[in-house]
Amino acid sequence: MKIAAVQMCSSPVPADNLARAAALVAEAAAQGAELVALPEYFGLMGRRDADKLVHTEMPGQGPMQDALARLARQHGLWLVGGTLPLKLSDDDRHVTNSCLVWGPDGQVAARYDKIHLFRFDDGERRYDEAATLCAGPAAPVAFTLHGRDGVALRVGLSICYDLRFPELFRALMQPPCDLFVLPAAFTYPTGQAHWSLLLRARAVENQCYLLASAQGGTHENGRRTWGHSLVADPWGEVLAVQPEGEGVVCADLDPARIAAVRRQLPALTHRRL
C-alpha cells in the first residue's frame, strides 16, 4: 500500500491553504497513495496564536472539514486532515487542536485531540500552545484502514509534540499498530536537533511504519518550521523525505516487512513493564 505525507508552508489565509492542500492531495492520489496525511495547522498558520479562535469550526461542520471530506471522496482515499481548530462547548477562549480522518466515502473515521501541549522558550523565541489550546482526553486513538486489496491495517494517531512522549505510542500498541501518523509543525531549532531521531526511535521501538507530515519553511508570520516530512519503516530506515518547502513524500507500506522485523527481533513480546 502506498502512503503519502503532504508538506506545506501554510499562510494566514485559509482559502489559499485549502487550495494548496487540494492540489497536493491530488498529486499524492496521482502517485497511487491510498492514505494521505496533511500537516498540523495545514489550514491556518496565523500571524497571532489567537487567530485560531477566529477560524475555529464546530465539530462536523465548517469549510475546512467540508473541503477535506470532498477530497477524500473525490480521490477515494483515506485522508488524515492534519489538524483543525475545533470549538469547545464551554470555553470561547480556547479550542482543541484536532486531527480528523476521513475514509474514501467522505465520512469521518476517527478524531484525535492533541493531548500534549508544546511550550518552548530559549530566551529569543517563546511559544505556549496552552494560551489558545485545550488538551484532549488522555486516551490513545487508532482506527482500522481497509486497503483496496482488502488488507486491514491499524493506524495510530498522534500530533507533533506527542512525539516526545513514548508512552502514548506504547499505549497505541494495544493491540499493535501497523502505522503511526504524526502531523506536525516542529520549530526549526527543535526539529534540527530531535525530529528525525525521535521519529525513527518511535518506529523502531514499536516495530511499525511511521508517516510524519510537517510544515516546512519560513511562514508569513516570521516563524520557520523544520519540515523534513518522512516515512520510516519498522527498522527505522527512512524511505522518503522532503527536507523543506512544499511537496509530497510517498512510500510503500509492506505488511510483510512488519511481520519480518517482529519475527526476527520479537522485542514486543519481550516487554516486562
State the cell numbers at 244. Answer: 523543506
Q: Helices 63-75 and 14-30 sit at what angle, rounded to 10 degrees?
A: 10
CA dist., res. 8 & res. 17, Å (int) = 9
The yes-or-no answer on residue 160 being catalytic is yes
CA distances from 238 to 47, 64, 118, 166, 176 (A): 33, 31, 25, 19, 21
* Marked catalytic residue, from 99, 134, 160, 177: 160
Residue 114 is among the residues annotated as catalytic for this protein? yes
Query: What is the distance, to the nearest Å, from the Cα of residue 98 to the centroid of all Cα atoms in its chain?
Result: 10
**Other beta carbons less than 10 A from residue 77's beta carbon:** 23
- Choose, from 40, 57, 129, 244, the residue flagged as catalytic: 40
- Reference 55, options 100, 107, 19, 15; nearest CA is 15
Q: Is 52 a catalytic residue?
A: no
Residue of 34, 52, 99, 114 marked catalytic? 114
Contact 185, 224 (CB under 8 A): no
| Torsion angle in degrees (nearest 10) through CA of 8, 113, 75, 29 | 40
Residues with catalytic annotation? 40, 114, 160
